[in-house]
Amino acid sequence: MKNIVLVGFMGTGKTRVGKLLATQLKRQRLCLDDMIEWKVGKPITKIFQEDGEQYFRKIESEVVKAASHDRNVVIDAGGGVVIDMNNIKRLKEHGIVICLVARPEVIYDRTKGSMHRPLLNTHDPVASISALLNKRKAYYGRVDYTIDTSDISPEEIVAEILEMMNPKNKHG
């Protein structure tokens, strides 16, 4: 069975959906952000502060490489994983890559007040969201499927993914 890989901007629901999906399918879940934190031994915010984004991306790619060797797992990736084409290539080798998207105002609503997202810890998070979304638009298009999560619940998103994976629908 192929891995199910969730990518998409911060606040689009990857973590919630990843957890639900893994439970329903009785599969192991690999959270790449958690793997990065374990590998480096500190929280993502600290990695950004003390080592910089470039270092974070380097570790992110190493973790993608390791996770891509697994089979039959649910992988949820950080929002910036798509920037490096090699990451997406690797994740696609044994996985179906699904991008969760949402409207900018929904993303803002879901991420406001969260302290663990250094890229949105700015004086104007709405502007940061718009700028990053614009910059990454093309990258988020490099996936197998896209689901807009703005107006549906995590449970509905999971149902949609399971429907897509159903061999009867020729996508599995």
Nearer of residues 103 and 171 to ligand S3P, judged by Cβ: 103
Our CB check for ligand S3P shows the closer of 25 and 100 to be 100
Give me the least distance between CB of 79 and ligand S3P, in Å please: 3
CB of 96 to ligand S3P, least distance (A): 19
Interface with ligand S3P (CB under 6 A): 10, 14, 33, 44, 78-80, 117-119
Closest CB to ligand S3P belongs to which residue? 78
Alpha helical stretches, state H, 69-166:
85-93, 104-111, 125-136, 154-165
CB contact set of 170 (below 8 Å; sequence gap of 6+): none
42 CA to centre of own chain: 20
Q: Chain-centre distance of CA 69, in angstroms?
A: 18
| Order of strands, sheet of 3-8, starting from the edge strand that comes earlier in the sequence | 29-31, 74-76, 3-8, 95-101, 145-148
Q: Which is nearer to ligand S3P, 10 or 91 (CB)?
A: 10
* Pick 25 or 35: Cβ nearer ligand S3P: 35
Please report how close the Cβ of residue 146 comes to ligand S3P at its closest, in angstroms: 16
Determine the Cα–Cα distance for residues 81 and 9; give it in Å rounded to an integer: 10
Cβ of residue 133: shortest distance to ligand S3P, in angstroms? 10
Q: Which is nearer to ligand S3P, 1 or 50 (CB)?
A: 50
How many Cβ atoms are within 10 Å of 10's Cβ, its own excluded?
20
In whole angstroms, the minimum distance from the beta carbon of 10 to ligand S3P comes to 4
**Region of residue 83 (left: phi > 0; alpha: psi -120 to 50; beta: else):** alpha
